[in-house]
Amino acid sequence: MRPIVAVIAVALALSVSAPALAETVACHLNYGGETQIIESAPLATPYTGAPTAIGSFFLFRVVFVPEPSDLARINLYTHAELGEVPIPLQHASYPYPVRNHGRYGFTGLQRVYEPKRESELQYWCEIRNA
């Protein structure tokens, strides 16, 4: 085999066998003047992944299921924890793959209000290469 052909063959083999960059969803949350980032790796099923407490009233959950392609989605859930059962405030669903659009990722800037105390949660999410 010629040296150049061998180099090309090896390069092609490596590019086919090399794993693709894994993507994550990073959500930037602002509540009560404090900002935090929640990052979620892909999940095998939409039934896993616990919500994150934001302050003393909000629960925020990211469900990133990239496969199978016909069901691939990123779901974002915001609940208010006011009693025995969390109250759903917002559910946003984005077919995957998504693209970031400017300053506020793929979601744009979102505002969610807790109904009892009128507190505001602001968030936006972006797709990241890990």
In the chain, the number of structural domains is: 1
Give the pLDDT confidence of 82-125 residue by residue, as tens digits. 888 999 999 999 999 999 999 999 999 999 998 888 899 999 99
CA distance 54 to 35: 10
pTM of the model: 0.82
9 domain-assigned: no
62 domain-assigned: yes
79 domain-assigned: yes
Backbone angles phi, psi at 69, to 5 degrees: -60, -30
16 domain-assigned: no
Give the pLDDT confidence of 9-41 residue by residue, as tens digits. 434 343 433 345 699 999 999 999 999 999 999
Give the pLDDT confidence of 39-75 residue by residue, as tens digits. 999 999 888 889 999 998 999 999 999 999 999 999 9
55 domain-assigned: yes
Q: Which residue range(s) make up the domain with 108?
A: 21-129
pLDDT value, residue 18: 36
122 domain-assigned: yes
Tokens of 62: 């990211």
Count of CB atoms situated within 10 Å of the CB of 59: 19
52 domain-assigned: yes
pLDDT value, residue 118: 85
50 domain-assigned: yes
CA-nearest of 130, 95, 87, 129 to 112 is: 87
CA distance 29 to 121: 7
